[in-house]
Every structure is written in C-alpha cells, then in structure tokens.
C-alpha cells in the first residue's frame, strides 16, 4: 500500500487506497476480512502514511510482535526461508525508529574500502583499521567501538 501511495503521489494518480482494498476482495487470495480492515483504515484517514501508523493496526502489531519475532527467529534457526515475514518485520522495526543503523553500513564500507564513517557521538569523518583491531582482539563479540 505504501508503494502504491508513493507512486500515486509522484504521478498524481489520486488513488483511493481504501477503494483499491475493496476492489481486490473479488477473487483475491488475501482474506476479505483483512481487506475490509484496510479499507476502513483509509476511510478513517485518507491521507494515512502507512497502515503501521493506523491506531488499530499499530495496536495489533505491537500486541503480536513478540510472537512474530519468535516465529521469524525459529524459522531462521531451522534454516527455513521466510523472506516476506523477515522483510516485513525489518520494515516494522525500521519504520518505528527515530535513528536507523546507517552508521553500521558506513562501518562495513569503511572495512572493505576505507570509505570512512560518521559517528553518532561526535562530528566528523573517521576511518578505523578494523582488521588490526580484530587481530588485537579489540573488536568482536561484546566489544565496544567507543
């Protein structure tokens, strides 16, 4: 729904996401009751940025997240691929954070190509000799980079 919403804004399509949910009920593999809930969310707020912030959906997601995490963790532990569940959980976690782990990506780039990274505790660009620290045992499980 978020992709449809974004493209609708970009292209000026004026899509009615609640109406799309209603239309999809005919012959869709998604349960009709669930599509009714989506339709109602967009009827409550036609400018809804995401179902994640609709009060009813948000409450249910928060209430069910422990089980969601447990299922994803068990699947991963058993080597069972659940890309949709894993990706949606990552999206949920990303959407509700004020600060994202982009600095981890920067650190990985710094390791592989000395691209530098920014820290969250002080301004500036930094480069670390990651492999030297690893050989000295200064980084690894439980170690702090600060």
H-helix or E-strand spanning residue 68: helix 55-77
Taking residues 118-130, report their average pLDDT: 88
- The residue count of the chain comes to 146
Residue 30 CA, distance from chain mean position:
21
What's the pLDDT at 146? 45
For 90-93, the CB contacts below 8 A with 24+ separation are: 92/52, 92/61, 92/65
Least confident piece of the model among 9-18, 20-29, 48-57: 20-29
Beta bridge partners of 118: 125
Each residue of 26-85: pLDDT tens digit?
A: 666 666 778 888 899 999 999 898 899 999 999 999 999 999 999 999 999 999 999 999
pTM equals: 0.58
Question: Can you tell me whether residue 117 is helix, strand or coil?
Answer: strand
| For helices 83-95 and 55-77, angle between their N-to-C axes, nearest 10 degrees | 130
- State the chain's mean pLDDT as an integer: 85
Sign of the Cα torsion 129, 130, 133, 138 reads positive
Taking residues 78-97, report their average pLDDT: 92
């Amino acid at each position: 729904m978020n992709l449809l919403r974004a493209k609708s804004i970009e292209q000026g399509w004026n899509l009615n996401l609640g109406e799309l949910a209603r239309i999809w009920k005919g012959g869709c593999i998604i349960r009709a009751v669930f599509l009714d809930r989506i339709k109602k969310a967009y009827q409550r707020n036609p400018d809804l940025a995401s179902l994640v912030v609709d009060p009813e959906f948000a409450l249910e997601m928060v209430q069910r997240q422990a089980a969601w995490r447990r299922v994803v963790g068990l699947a991963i532990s058993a080597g069972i691929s659940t890309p949709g569940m894993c990706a949606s959980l990552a999206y949920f976690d990303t959407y509700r954070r004020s600060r994202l782990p982009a600095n981890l990506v920067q650190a990985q780039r710094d390791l592989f190509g000395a691209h530098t990274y920014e820290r969250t505790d002080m301004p500036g660009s930094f480069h670390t000799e990651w492999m030297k620290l690893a050989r000295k045992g200064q980084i690894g499980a439980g170690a702090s980079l600060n």
